[in-house]
Amino acid sequence: MTLPKDCTTVFFGNSTVEYSVNDSLIGSSFNFARGWESLVYVYAKLQLIKENNPHIDTVFIGFDDIILLNGELVGNSRMSHLYFVEKYSANDWIMNLKEFSTESNYKLINHIYHIRLTLPVIKSFFSKVDIRDLKLGGYSWLIRDKLAQDIERRKDSEGRPRKTYKDFPIICRYYVDNILDYCRKKDITVFFINIPKHKSVWADTVYRDIHREYYPDVPLIDCMQMPLPDSCFGDCIHLNYKGARMFAPILSKCILLANEYDTLQVDEIYTLSNDSSILSNPLL
């Protein structure tokens, strides 16, 4: 479960990060994001990765309406993991039981022992196992062309009541706080990041209010409204492999700045995330 010594930066988040952060194009980093990721899993994975890779010093956490406003566990039966059990304290388990539904608690506990997750763990006792085989995350090359269909589908939800920062679930805030506390104790520089999304969903900005209300001291790299062409999107919220390639130089610059400064001012990040000179790079 060890990363190369020159890999000092890791990314966590849901599928928006999974498909957008091509770590092969970004030096000294690894993408641990997964589709349907929840903050309860991010917290456990962060501890697991840091304990096995003490040289990790910078963490980027996906920060958007999707991961922040979903107070239940979604996805398939391979989201939880045997390695996660010991990463939760007694208080964590009490909070899980209190705030998650019965179904979510079932997923969190029962799916830990899914056979497809336990086999690589058993194998690791006898031979070397690629970290990707542990199903903890990784960049996924997205070949998808369903932007038009997704825009049309989302029209059905128009007119529904919009959420506000007051809808930030207690369990989500609890685990964001835990993540930040852990990073402080381990001297890890943490950044929130929102990946570029199609202009059709640019109104989904509750995450900005949550940031201002609860976490103004944590730098937010807000790239949601980065002006990328439609050809870069697999759907409204996911970059395809072309979009990930165009996004890579921005992330590379952010990592360099993170290594040079203790904190990165929000206005500096905004300027960086809208750097037109990068978007017009002929090599892309």
Model pLDDT, residue 265: 46
Contact 31, 7 (CB under 8 A): no
Question: How far apart (Å, rounded) are the C-alpha atoms in residues 173 and 182?
Answer: 14
DSSP symbols for 193-254: EE----GGGTT--HHHHHHHHH-TTS-EEE-TT----GGGBSSSS-B-HHHHHHHHHHHHHH
Q: Give the residue from 196, 195, 197, 209 showing the smallest Cα distance to 162.
A: 209
For the chain, which residues make up each domain, given as ranges? 9-76+135-279
Q: What is the pLDDT of residue 278?
A: 43
Closest to 8 (Cα-Cα) out of 31, 30, 33? 30
Q: CA 195, CA 96: separation in Å to the nearest integer?
A: 28
Task: Please give the pLDDT value at position 114.
Answer: 61
Q: What is the pTM of this model?
A: 0.87
- CA 64, CA 43: separation in Å to the nearest integer? 16
Mean pLDDT per segment of 10 residues, for the chain of length 284 residues?
89 97 92 94 96 94 97 78 88 97 88 62 67 79 94 84 94 98 96 94 95 92 89 97 92 70 47 50 34
pLDDT at 83: 79
**Where do the H-state alpha helices sit in the chain?**
15-18, 39-52, 65-68, 90-99, 102-110, 115-124, 147-154, 170-185, 206-214, 241-260, 266-273, 276-279
Dist. CA 46–CA 179, nearest whole Å: 8
CA–CA dist 156, 139 (Å, integer): 31
Can you give the pLDDT at residue 125?
66
Per-residue pLDDT at 233? 97
| Contact indicator for 257, 159 with CB cutoff of 8 Å | no
Which pLDDT does position 162 carry in this prediction? 87
Q: Rounded to whole angstroms, what are the CA distances from 197 to 9, 79, 176, 191?
A: 23, 24, 22, 18
Question: CATH number for the 9-76+135-279 domain, one of 3.40.50.1110, 3.30.565.10, 2.40.30.110, 3.40.190.10?
Answer: 3.40.50.1110
Q: Cα-atom radius of gyration of the chain, to the nearest Å?
A: 18
